[in-house]
Structure 1
Amino acid sequence: MQVMLIEFSVGNYRSFKERVTFSMVAANIVAKDKELDENNVFAVDKELKLLKSAAIYGANASGKSNLAKALSFMRWFMVNSSRETQSTDPIDVEPFRLSTETEDKPSYFELVFLMDGKRYRYGFEANQEQVISEWLYYVPKVRETKLFERKINSFKISKSYEASGIQKRTRDNALFLSVSAQFNVGFAEEILGWVISKLGMISELWEPLLFTYTIDCLMNNENKSDIVKLIKKLDLGIDDIQVEKGNFTNDIVNDNLTDRVKHLTLEIRRGQTASIKTIHKKFDKNGNDQSIEKFDFRSHESEGTQKLFTLAGTLIKTLKEGDILVVDELDARLHPLITTAIVSLFNSKEANPNNAQLIFMTHDTNLLSNKLFRRDQIWFTEKNRYGATDLYSLAEYKIRNDASFESDYIKGKYGAIPYIGDLSHLVDSHV
């Protein structure tokens, strides 16, 4: 099943004024380096071209991570609202509290995506008590067609959706799409299938699960050679990795993780864990390798190496299967050249033949280069004077393709940087 992300919109109200939209649609621009247009963009048809990667920049507290959290919540609610919640459970949304206009308005979520060559548009509005509205449209041929639409407890369902009667089984705090999948409605099953298997999320909270996934891949010889090759190629001094099964401990599965994260994609295999050893060459005084040395992964490898190992299984799966991967703070604990290498994997016809998509939040300005990105692949978040997040693309600026993206960003030409006050008198030296 080939799935591609087109747009994601989120906000506290249905009006365009109160929501932000992130898009993977390629803008009508020509990059300085023609190879960027050939590698970083892929054509769906004669009219639609999508991006393989996009970076989102912004100051601390500007809303970058909130965008990832919103998508993560939408994903979880789509999959689990019919089975992981009770009728009295509140919906985990929070209104924008810095405006009297929106503090009592529902939260808005919408995804536009391609699945098996057809465009779908799905979304919902919800407050903490109930789902206010929900909709699903698709384009079977030329025109967008409604599959269902919901207003509170009033439903309009097309015959092709084949879900008559299921609306009566849908609680106020559950999504009709989620309930439909429970009753084997084909459209709903396919959509939730791609959400579970094709839309990947990575944040610090997810790392114990992703670590487990990489171990499972190595234990079960699933993409093992590619995972080891990736780690070796990134110059970590590791020649091989050995994984041996052992008894379960809490080192891999953190029981403090929220139930939402535990149930999203990765099955935790309780009852077993692993002893991980990294293999390093051992040299004599003349520089000749004489033997090998085994390091304990947890105690002897750096935090950067451990993070890369954590990411490796998911990165390889994403590239091989043409998935969508959203990463919050991709650059954390990684050298800028390693981050660049990961992005370059996605911006490559050879390494990414199935057009996997990478979306990541970052502070790494080294990536702001017209040799790595087209302008439409660079996005910014900025808080406006009222505390709300604005989201916009570098493609919206009229600048030369040969401009120094990094230098101009640091100078504040695109906004989305912290404006730091005078700190010279922060500490009173006379005290």
Structure 2
Amino acid sequence: MLIDFSLQNYSSFNSKQELSMLASTSTKENYNLNNTKQINAYGINSLLKSASIFGANASGKSNFAAALNTLKSLVLESLDSINDKTVKKVVPFLLKENLFDKPTEFEITFLAMDNMYRYGISIEQGVISEEWLYWTKTSRETQLFHREGQKVVFNQRSFSEAKSFVHKEGDSWNIEKTKPFVPFVSVLSQFNGKKSVVVTDWFQKLNVISGLDDYGFKEFTIDLFEENSEFKEWSLEILKSLQIEDIIVDETEENLPLLKKGSLDDSDLDDALSKLHSFIEKNKIKKKLIKIVKVNPETGKFYSFPLSLESEGTKKLIYLLGPLYDVIKNEEILIVDEFDNKFHTLLCKFIIDLYHKSNQGASQLIVTCHDTNLLTKELFRRDQIWFVEKTPLNESEIYSLVEYKEHYTRKEGSYSKDYLSGKYGAIPLFGSIDDLGEILNG
């Protein structure tokens, strides 16, 4: 499970910012216990099963989600390339004279294999300036390794997997077989380093998707409907509220737009086009599509038709069920940027409530959203609500509703009124309709 994540000098974030999944121990926050997971170890009482991040357009919410994905890419993809293209994806805060006045830094703390790990990495001008890994087995944190450039200090007893990848020069150890832009933990994991594999395996369970489109999870969900009967049964129970009785996965041949044979003046090109047509005919591209089944309540007759005829919200819900089921079943982490896009407020609430009730394990969900109607005590505890706001220097900052100790739960159980009035900051660009009207009317 994720405990906390911090970043600095990345995208719209300049100073160090941190998101914590630690549940508040205050008695005033002692509600919605179904939204927490008891840990009772490492000094941690409980962790939050979910968190929501609110803020104005261009405040930095998507950049925060992207930071988690960037760290994942650094750890898992750096070895896939012979050059430094992965580390070059790390963009610092650009609105300052010296872009590298401090390193771009990510640090993440998580629970895995009955231990707590803290991993961090610093990047300066396209190379890794620092990298570190600590673990806590019982109560005391122990350093496994700390890298500075190509030099490293490591725990020879607890992290013996590093021995084959270092050589000693004088009083210091130098890293071998690891390029300056490749994480040391990634290299060790490739060679089955016991603790390094735990780290990379954990990042494999970190999933970041966008709610603006279904790229990256649509096909995954379609395959689940076709191959996993348990998932299909679970989904259909949910979809009954949309009068959907069944889901059918159908295959169709995809026709590629090609010029007609004989349409080119050049005989060689036309001959090549003819061969291409023949190849495509022999190797038809199959595309899987979803059909939904509904029933006419008067006649009891069932009808099936393509999902493409349904609303964008219905399509997004169906495709999102795959990732939700997968992370709950496999106790993984899902970050959904722009979660509420295309969703009605009641559908947003339904999905989040469904997640909390279905998740009895160690799964976690983090969403970024705009819909202030989700700021309710019934849905989220105060420690689950976070805001992102731009400072006068255009730097993004993230902070928790718990920091506003003077604003405990309103009698009606909603925080949206206080949020829209500006009491928590992170409000839309225009403070009121009157302000917007003045700008539009000159």
- Which one of the candidate residues 351, 355, 377 is aligned to 1:346? 355
Contact 1:53 1:358 in 2 (8 A): yes
For the pair 1:281 / 2:295, whether they are aligned, the reply is: yes
1:22-421 to structure 2, matched below 5 A, reads: 22-31=19-28, 35-36=31-32, 38-45=33-40, 47-48=43-44, 49-86=46-83, 91-100=88-97, 102-159=99-156, 160-161=158-159, 162-166=161-165, 167-196=175-204, 198-204=205-211, 207-221=214-228, 223-233=230-240, 235-247=241-253, 272-283=286-297, 288-298=298-308, 300-348=309-357, 351-398=358-405, 399-403=407-411, 404-420=414-430
Q: Letter of the aligned partner of 2:426 in structure 1?
A: A
Output the CA distance in 1 between the equivalents of 2:212 and 2:182.
25
Amino acid at match of 1:371: E
Gaps in structure 1 of 5+ consecutive residues: 251-269
Give the drift of 1:418: 2.3
Q: Which amino acid aligns with 1:338?
A: L
Task: Please state whether the residue corresponding to 2:244 is helix, strand or coil.
Answer: coil
TM-score by length of 1: 0.85
CA–CA distance in 2 between the matches of 1:322 and 1:307? 22
Distance 1:128 1:85, change over 3 A: farther
Q: CA offsets, 1:358-384, max 9 Å, x none?
A: 111011111111122211111001111
Q: Distance in 1 between matches of 2:395 and 2:87?
A: 24
Q: Structure 1 residues 206 and 187 mapped into 2: Cα distance closer, same or farther (>3 Å)?
A: farther
| Stretches of structure 2 lacking an aligned partner (at least 5 in a row) | 166-174, 257-283
Cα shift at 1:345: 2.4
Deviation at 1:272, TM superposition (A): 4.3
State the alpha-carbon separation in 2 of the partners of residues 168 and 247 from structure 1. 51
Identity %: 38
Deviation at 1:271? 6.0
- Asked if the contact 1:231/1:238 (under 8 Å) is kept, the reply is no
Whichever residue aligns with residue 359 of structure 1, its letter is: I
Aligned residues: CA RMSD: 2.5
Structure 1 counterpart of 2:279: none
- Is the 1:95–1:104 Cα contact (8 Å) retained in structure 2? no
Whole-Å Cα distance in 2 between the matches of residues 427 and 142 of structure 1? Answer: 59
Per-residue deviation, residues 3-47 of structure 1 (Å, max 9, x unmatched): x1000001129xx99210000001122357x551x2112210164
1:365-411: CA deviation from partner (whole Å, max 9, x where unpaired): 11111122211111001111111111110101122323541110011
Q: Deviations over 1:337-366 (max 9, x none)?
A: 111111112333xx2111321111011111
After superposition, the Cα gap between the structure-2 partners of 1:238 and 1:128, relative to the gap in structure 1 and judged at 3 Å, is farther
1:27 and 1:35 map into 2 onto residues whose CA distance is: 11
- SS of 1:304's partner is helix
Aligned residue for 2:335, secondary structure, equals strand
Q: Secondary structure at the match of 1:109?
A: strand
Compared with structure 1, are the counterparts of its residues 226 and 9 closer, same or farther at alpha carbon in structure 2 (3 Å cutoff)? farther
Runs of 4+ residues deviating >6 angstroms: none
Quickly say closer, same or farther: Cα 1:370–1:423, change in 2 above 3 A: closer
Q: In the TM superposition, what is the alpha-carbon distance from 1:184 to its structure 2 partner?
A: 1.5
The offset of 1:103, in angstroms, is: 4.4
Shift of 1:334: 1.1
Q: Are residues 134 and 420 of structure 1, via their aligned partners in 2, closer, same or farther at CA, if it must alter by over 3 Å?
A: same
- Going from structure 1 to structure 2, the CA distance change for 1:364 and 1:383 (only over 3 Å counts) comes to same
**1:154–1:213 Cα change, 3 Å:** same
TM-score normalised according to structure 2 size = 0.83
Give the deviation of 1:116 after TM superposition. Answer: 2.0
Paired positions, count: 394
Aligned to 1:257: none
